[in-house]
Amino acid sequence: MTSQYRHTVGHNCYSFDNLAEVMAKASPARSGDRLAGVAADSAEQRVVAQMVLAQLPLVTFLNEPLVPYEDDEVTRLIIDEHDAQAFAPIAHLTVGDFRNWLLSDAASSERLASVSAGLTPEMVAAVCKLMRNQDLILVAKKCRVVSAFRSTVGLEGRMSTRLQPNHPTDDMAGVAASLLDGLLYGSGDAVIGINPATDNVAQASKLLHFISDVIEHYQIPTQSCVLTHVSNTLELIEQGAPVDLVFQSIGGTEATNRSFGVDLAMLEEARQAALSLNRGTIGDNVMYFETGQGSALSAGAHHGLDQLSCEVRAYAVARKYRPLLVNSVVGFIGPEYLYDGREIIRAGLEDHFCGKLLGLPMGCDICYTNHAHTDQNDMDNLLTLLGVAGCSFIMGIPGADDIMLNYQSTSFHDALYIRSVLGLKPAPEFERWLAEMTIFSADGRYALKEELPAQLASNLLDLSARYES
């Protein structure tokens, strides 16, 4: 047994078999880790594990991979692409020292950006476990990550939204109605993204052409995405479909990604294919990833790790492909993994903090399934906390109720709320478009009107009718 992972409290000596066990036992309580059998047995054991973790040098995580290098391409990515020069200024720190530095004034936005490439996901997950919610908010607020395609996401004082006009049968009139509704509430500057009810190439092509026509017709400075499998998107690009962003769900181990039907080579192939289309006007960030704690456990691919550590390893995958958007779908996986509002709120703040610290444009689908022990008030709390923390984007769904995926998220009205109470604005290109359309006033405020703006009076439903079979 390694003495490095021992700690005595009074007459009790606690010991941990390896680094993975220290990491798991140090995690704040959550149902997924209990389901996996890796959670701390008591609050005292959790605190002891956190004390052990705090004393470990950061370099420990370079020398002791949580998943063997030989067995996992995500581990190889993390180790092989680690930036030693960026790591050098903090290489002497322990995890506890690193926490103190992050919270200090010395860790400015510029310093955080300069060390980001030197951080591994395991270092970030470790320090996250030592931090209270307010610590996660303070540090994330200082991290500034900007990405761009036709709009700019992540600028200070701005919060974008994904307009999500899903429909349970992909009815084009229904999609068009939700799309128009969202635009009239100032939603959609992160992306207009549809989860297709029927996931095949033909349906995805139909939806992509429709959104592209809407964007072109109204000259909207945003991008489209149909959230289909990356292999379908590759086929769509070969067919000449108007693909802006490549979407894919990803996880933190090779086996998790294989359960999604992808590997690192396929993601790179898709990125290069999307770049070849050259459809961005102000940037070339062409990837959109979704993640979420618990996916590795759900796939039986967690290697005995806690779900936060697996989740942050997924961010190393995302970082490689310079995405426009990374979205933690925090409560979508259900109470088996995040039991109630308390666990969902904590996980949402963790994901946002860890992603931002690793240099990712993090958004959050602030959501829950209908059998979770939570409600919309908990989501209001998380939305407000993430707004304060500088979250790059959230979801915009009619009434916060996704009638296709059958879960609860954030509505167009929720975006107006958080922008109002915190003085946040949409992406600058989209803000100008909203003013031109008279949806927002010239001073950037939303004003509900009795009639459609004149520029939108040409009926969107007429446009959608072209696509009805």
pLDDT digit string (tens) for 134-148? 999 999 999 999 999
The answer to the question of whether 408 is labelled as a binding residue is: no
The answer to the question of whether 404 is labelled as a binding residue is: yes
Report yes or no: 407 and 368 within 8 Å, Cβ to Cβ: yes
Orientation angle between helical segments 95-103 and 133-142, nearest 10 degrees? 60
pLDDT digit string (tens) for 189-219? 999 999 999 889 999 999 999 999 999 999 9
| CATH number corresponding to 6-142 | 1.10.220.70
The answer to the question of whether 116 is labelled as a binding residue is: no
pLDDT for residue 450 is more than 90: no
Q: Identify each DSSP E strand in 22-173 by its residue range.
A: 147-148, 152-153, 160-163
Orientation angle between helical segments 264-277 and 230-238, nearest 10 degrees? 30
In this chain, the answer to whether the domains covering 6-142 and 147-437 adopt an identical fold is no
The answer to the question of whether 162 is labelled as a binding residue is: yes
Place of tokens 């993994």: 337
The answer to the question of whether 267 is labelled as a binding residue is: no
pTM of the model: 0.96
Helix (H) or strand (E) holding 327: strand 325-329
- Residue ranges covered by each domain of the chain: 6-142, 147-437
The answer to the question of whether 17 is labelled as a binding residue is: no
Report yes or no: 99 and 338 within 8 Å, Cβ to Cβ: no
Return the CATH number of 147-437, one of 3.20.20.70, 3.40.50.300, 3.40.50.1970, 3.40.640.10. 3.20.20.70
Tell me what the mean pLDDT of segment 164-182 comes to: 93
pLDDT digit string (tens) for 283-340? 999 999 999 999 999 999 999 999 999 999 999 999 999 999 999 999 999 999 999 9
The answer to the question of whether 239 is labelled as a binding residue is: no
Q: Are strands 325-329 and 287-291 parallel, antiparallel or unpaired?
A: parallel
What integer best gives the mean pLDDT of the chain? 94
The answer to the question of whether 284 is labelled as a binding residue is: no
The answer to the question of whether 164 is labelled as a binding residue is: yes
The answer to the question of whether 298 is labelled as a binding residue is: yes
